[in-house]
A and B are shown apart, each in its own frame.
Chain A
Amino acid sequence: MHNAVRSRSSRRVNDPSTTFPEECTVTSTSLPDSLIATLPGSSYTDPGIFEQEQERIFESMWFCVARASDLAKPGAFRTVDVGRESILVTRARDHSIRAYFNVCRHRGARICTEESGEVKRAFQCPYHAWTYDLNGKLVAAPNLTKMPDVGRTEYGLVSVATREWLGYVWVCLAENPPSFEEDVIGEVVGRLGDVESIEHYDIDSLSVGKRIVYDVKANWKLIIENFMECYHCATIHPELTEVLPEFADGYAAQYYVGHGAEFGEEVRGFTVDGSEGLDRIPGVAEDQDRRYYAITVRPQVFINLVPDHVIFHRMYPVAADRTIVECDWLYLPHVVESGKDVSRSVELFHRVNQQDFDACERTQPGMSSRMYAKGGVLVPSEHHIGAFHDWVHERLGTHQQ
């Protein structure tokens, strides 16, 4: 299992043999072998960099916008900011998911201003009453019959690509969307080893037992980086470390391919006090039982799998220093319908979230300190975050060397 760990213990920090001759000529910014650099502080504070990320990451990649069951009926809608755009997501009469730019084709007014709701038949711009059906077609407007040359499809709402997977709606604003299979499903396969491992949890048929929305005053990358490492676990997550004792070693479940962190011997369930959880999801395999798996689907989804529930986070970056995180706790439908007490189950990761987001908020102000202008360092158990940073550079076209 440790073969995935690069240079974890192969070199000791003070071992003179690790000093390469060229390092002698390198400036004082060269780092000991144990450490690699983070992104500079400005990467977490600069509105210009955030705008680049909006354009080249959030508006270019598949972005998870809603639980499909939140759009159960035709006409149910949700508006979500994706990058710099407001996107209107709805369900058409044929029950297919549709997503449109939330911008009237006439004079550009925002069509839906509510975060969610339901229309009976059509979306109507509140400015001049241009009216669009659920398929986006322009169905009515004042004087429209006097303008027979105005194409009702041509001047309909502009749609964006949609996919449903794991019971969630994903959209992509790119003109030519990248492969969903490679970019989204591929991330899960890269973490778990295969797609069947996540299919065992039957996530699309689970029910939302609890949803909590967190308004985090921190850059989205701080949240992703936090989710990726467990060096902090023993310090800020006492309850989680009780349930998953190996987390005290500081190696996150995300460090190894296909590895799930095992529950402690005395632990009966993934709950705040280690007490019994809820009914186990039937498809979960024997070797997945009593284990916790974590997956980051770049750029904004974080999934936790435990035998009796799934925790599904979506991050909605709002500004360089603010991110809304929406988190669902998903259980078997009968668990939710019967009103079983899921509070101890929810409380464990809710506490983890609060502890994590407090830490991120504590970190955000330091990002603009002059002391952090060149950034900080990653220890070996965090070195895989370096690959995330390389990826950010690559997306922004700012790769050095």
Chain B
Amino acid sequence: MMIPACPLADLPRGEAFRLEIDPPVTVFHTEDGELFAIDDTCTHQDASLADGWVEDCWVECPLHASKFNLKTGEVDAPPAKLPVRTHEVVVQDGMVYVRLSTTAPNLPHCVARKLAGTLT
């Protein structure tokens, strides 16, 4: 599924755009000019990676400093243990779109339960 995110002009280098879908996805525009989309939620605790810090091809979670690779989703070190999903980014006519991954997300415990309907 292709979801429109934002006009490319509204996403300067060094910025991130958070798509308010469930679970949320964030598009990162790196200082090098590359675009990546990953699940926005850290796999350790409910924190928004859009609020994190991007260096090279990694985003550091703002809460506990686990870093996620923007290309592969892999995590560098605990406390997060599972990778985030990555999504394909497509730019068409100046618009940024995200093609969502069809694999299951690795959400932190309480968010996953909420999605499963066991936590209100």
Binding site for B on A (CB under 8 A): 121-122, 124, 129, 131, 139-146
Contact = CB atoms under 8 A, between A and B. Distances in A.
A145 B62 contact: no
Interface residues on B, range: 10 to 19
A129 B62 CA distance: 9
Contacts of A146: 46
Nearest to B114: A146
A318 B62 CA distance: 35
Contacts of B64: 129
A140 B46 contact: no
A106 B61 CA distance: 20
Nearest to A138: B51
B47 interface: yes
11 contacts: A121-B53, A122-B62, A124-B63, A129-B47, A129-B64, A131-B63, A140-B62, A140-B63, A141-B63, A144-B48, A146-B46
Interface of B: 18, 24, 40, 45-48, 51-53, 62-64
Contacts, number: 33
Given A129-B64, A131-B62, A131-B63, A142 B47 contact: yes
Given A140-B47, A145-B18, 7 more contacts: A129-B64, A131-B63, A141-B47, A142-B63, A144-B47, A144-B48, A145-B46
Nearest to A129: B63
A326 to B, nearest CB: 33
Quick one: which of B40, B45, B52, B62 has the most chain A CB within 10 A?
A: B62
A121 B55 CA distance: 12
Scoring A124, A129, A142 by chain B CB atoms within 10 A of each residue's CB, the highest score goes to A142
A124 B52 CA distance: 13
A122 B63 CA distance: 10
A36 B46 CA distance: 67
A145 B24 contact: yes
B45 to A, nearest CB: 5
A140 B52 CA distance: 8
A122 B53 CA distance: 10
